[in-house]
Structure 1
Amino acid sequence: MKIHYILVLVLLTACQGQNLQIDKLKSENQILKDKIAQLKNQSIVLNKIDENTLVTLANTDVQQITSKFNGQQYQIKISYPKNYFLNKEKKYPVLYVLDAETNFGGVSYIVQRLIKDKLIPEILVVGIAYSTDYKNFYKLRSRDLTPVEDSGLRMGNKSVDPTGGAPKFSDFLEFELFPFIEKNYRIKKEDRAIYGHSYGGLYGSYALLEKSQLFNRYLLLGPSLWFKDKLLVNQVSQKNLTFGRKTKLYMASGELDLRIKDYQEEFVQLLKEKHIPKLSIESEVVENETHRTIFGVGFTNGLRFIYKK
C-alpha cells in the first residue's frame, strides 16, 4: 500500500512538472505570436510608405541623405514659400524642423498662415525625418536628440532606447545637411532656425550651449530638460556663453506639464542671470496646455518671436 502511495505521488509530481512545462511553452508561444504580429504590422506600414500612398502636401519636395557620421539615411522634407519659383533672385531664411516624421504638415500650415498675414517673413522649411514606422522613429529620435548616453533610461515599461547621439547628429547637420541645402536651394546661409519639441527641445538646448554656430534662432517646446538628472540645467551655470551674432531663444511649455515647465523656467532663469550679450529670450508657461497640446499656441507664438524685427 505504501509503495502504491509513493507511485501516486511520483505520478502527480511528474504531471505537475509537465503542466508547468506546458504553461511555459504556451507563454513562449504567445510571446512569439505577439512578435510576429508586431513585425507584420511594421511590414504593412513600411510597404505603405514605399507605395507612396500617403497624402502629398502642395509645394513640397522630399530628398534622401545618408550620413557618414552615423550611417543613418534621413528623409529631408522641404516646404517652399509660395513665391519661391516666381522670384528666382530672392533668398530665404531656413527653419529646420526636428521630428518631421509626425509634425511636418502642421508646421508647414502654420508657417503659411503666418507668412500670409505678414507676421513672419517668407521662409524655407526643412523637415528632418527617417521614413520608418512609429516604433523605430522613437528609437532613432532618442538616439539623435539626446546629448549623452544614459544606459539606465527607461520610458515607462519599455526597454532601453539608444541615447547619446547628439554630437554625431550635429555633425550631420553642420557638415552634410546644411551644405546640401545651401547648394540646392536659395537660402540665407547666416539665418538658420531650429524647431524642436520634447527631446527636440532638449536637443535645441544642447545646441544652444554646445553648438551655437549651428543656429541663431531657437523655438523649443516642452524641452525634456529632466534628461540625465537635469544635465543641461546643471551645466548652464558653468558655461561661459558667447554668441557671435544676434540669437533668439523662445521656450514654452504647458501649465499642466509640471516637471517640464519647472525645469524650463529654471533653465531660462539661469541664462537670464548671465546677461549674455546678443541673446534675446522669451519664455512662456501657457495656461491649461499639456506636453502635447503646447504645439499649436507655442509654435505660433514662437515663430512670431524668433522672426520679430
Structure 2
Amino acid sequence: MVRPELTDRVPGGFGSRIAQLETEYFEVESPTIGGRLGISVSLPSGYDPDWPAIPVVYALDAQWQGGLYEKMHRGLTGPEGMRAVAPFLQVNIGYVDEQIDALALRNRDLVPPGEPMPDFMRDYIGETFASEELAHQFAVLMENPHADRFLDFLEGELHPHIREHYAVGDEGAGVFGFSYGGLFALYASMHARTLTRFGAASPGILVPDSTVFDAYREFAARAGDSGVREQTVLLTLGTGEVFGPLPMYHQLAVENIRFFSLVRSRPVPGYSLTAQIVQGEDHETGCVDAYRLFARTCYPRTA
C-alpha cells in the first residue's frame, strides 16, 4: 500500500480521505485498540455510489500485501476476469506507527487473547529484530494479545464509517487474513456479530493448546442444535507448509488439520468450513493464491 502524506490529520477519529484513481486512503486513530491505522479503500470495477448495497471485505496486513490485494481485487471484479466474482468493496488495513514494528503490532491485534507463545518464538525474535527495543516490543505484545479489541474496532468503529461513506451494507461482510491474520479470521468466525465470510489463509495455529480449539468447542456448545446465522469460512494451506523444509510450518499444518477435523467432528448448523491446498506455494508465497480462492469461494458471481 502506498501511503501518501495527509494534509489534514486529526488527533483522534477518522482523518480526511485522499482519492487515488480507484483507491481512497485515510488514517484512523482507534481508541479501541489504542493505535493508528492506515486504511486504503479499493473500489470494485465500475463502482457507482448509487449502487444498491454491496458486500465489503476487510483485508489485513496492507503494509505488506495491500497493493497485491488491490490489484487482484480490481482484476477479479473487472470485465476481463475469466472467473469473475461479484462486486465487493475492499478495505485494506495496515500499520503506520513508525515507533513500533508492524510484526509486533500484529501480535497486539491479530492474536487471540490468551494464545500461548510457541517455544521457538524466543529464537525467532532474536533472529528477526536488529535492536533489543524492537525485540522487547514484539515479546510484550505477543504476551498480551487482543484480537478481541481489534474485532471490536472492525465491527464497531471502522465498519460503520465505511457503511456511511460507501455503497455497502452488513450483508456478506467479510475479512481476509494470512498467517496471524488467518488466525484472526478463525477467531472472528466464532465471535463476530456482523462479519459472516472469512478467509483464513495459512492460519498461525502454532501450538497444540491454541485457544482456537476451546473457542470452537464453546462456540459449538452455544450454537446447540439451532445453529448460527450462515457463515462461510475458507481455510487454505500451501504445499510448502505441509511438505517443505521448516518444522515450524509442519506444526502449523498439523494444527490446522486438527482444527479442521474438530469442526468436522462437531459441525455447527450454518457454519460452513471448507479447506483448499494452494499447490506449489509456501508461507511466504501463498497469500495471493489464497486471496483469489477466498474471493471466488465467498463472493461468486451468480449472473
What is the TM-score with the length of structure 1 in the denominator?
0.75
1:151/1:270 CA distance change after superposition, 3 Å:
closer
Among candidates 197, 200, 225, match of residue 178 of structure 2: 197
Among candidates 192, 202, 207, match of residue 188 of structure 2: 207
Residue type of the alignment partner of 2:177: G
1:263/1:96 CA distance change after superposition, 3 Å:
same
Matched, 1:105 2:70: no
Larger displacement relative to structure 2 (59-68 or 230-239)? 230-239
Residue of structure 2 in register with 1:130 after alignment:
95
Distance 1:285 1:92 in 2: 29
Q: Which has the higher helix share?
A: 1
Quote how far apart the aligned CAs of 1:133 are.
4.8
Residue of structure 2 in register with 1:233 after alignment:
213
Residue of structure 2 in register with 1:252 after alignment:
236
Q: Report if the CA contact (8 A) 1:79-1:108 is conserved.
A: yes
Listed one character per residue, the Cα deviations across residues 14-46 of structure 1 (whole Å, up to 9, x for unaligned) are: xxxxxxxxxxxxxxxxxxxxxxxxxxxxxxxxx
Q: Report if the CA contact (8 A) 2:114-2:211 is conserved.
A: no
Residue of structure 2 in register with 1:29 after alignment:
none
Residue of structure 2 in register with 1:61 after alignment:
24
Matched, 1:272 2:264: yes
Aligned residues: 257
Residue type of the alignment partner of 1:91: A
Q: Report if the CA contact (8 A) 1:253-1:260 is conserved.
A: no
Quote how far apart the aligned CAs of 1:151 are.
8.2
For CA contacts below 8 A with separation 6 or more, give which structure has more relative contact order: 2
What is the TM-score with the length of structure 2 in the denominator?
0.76
Give 3-state SS (helix, strand or coil) of 2:169's partner. Answer: strand
Q: Report if the CA contact (8 A) 2:60-2:93 is conserved.
A: yes
The answer for unaligned runs of 5 or more in structure 1 is: 1-47
Distance 2:46 2:161 in 1: 21
Distance 2:98 2:50 in 1: 37
Quote how far apart the aligned CAs of 1:124 are.
0.5
Quote how far apart the aligned CAs of 1:229 are.
3.5
Give 3-state SS (helix, strand or coil) of 2:209's partner. Answer: helix
Quote how far apart the aligned CAs of 1:140 are.
0.8
The answer for unaligned runs of 5 or more in structure 2 is: 8-18, 127-134, 242-249
Quote how far apart the aligned CAs of 1:106 are.
0.7
RMSD of aligned Cα (Å): 2.6
Pick the structure with greater CA Rg.
1
